[in-house]
A = this chain, B = another copy of it.
Amino acid sequence: MNLLKEKIMMDGKVIMPDILKVDGFLNHQIESQLCKEIAKTFKEKFGGKKVTKILTIEASGIALALAVAYEFGHIPVLFAKKGTSKIMHDDMYTAKIHSYTKNVTYDASIKKEYLTSDDHVLLIDDFLANGQAMLGLLSMCEQAKVTISGIGIVIEKGFQEGRKLLKKKGYAVESLVVIKEFKDGRIIFK
CB distance from A45 to the nearest CB of B (A): 19
Cβ–Cβ contact B59 & A111, under 8 A: no
Q: What residues of chain A have their CB less than 8 Å away from a CB belonging to chain B?
A: 23-24, 28-33, 35-36, 58-59, 62-63, 65-67, 69-70, 74-79, 81, 110-111, 113-114
From the candidates B33, B58, B69, name the one contacting A59 in the complex (CB within 8 A): B58
This chain's copy number in the assembly = 2
Contact A23 B66 (CB under 8 A): no
Say how far A72's CB is from chain B's closest CB, in angstroms. 9
B114 touches A79 (CB 8 A): no
**Contact across chains for B78 and A28 when beta carbons are under 8 A apart:** yes
- Pair A28/B66 contact, Cβ less than 8 Å: no
Given contacts A67-B66, A70-B36, A74-B33, contact A28 B111 (CB under 8 A): yes
**Smallest Cβ distance from A112 to chain B, in angstroms?**
12
With most chain B CB atoms within 10 A of its CB, the pick from A28, A35, A58, A70 is A28
What residues on B are CB-neighbors of A28 within 8 Å?
A: 78-79, 81, 110-111, 114
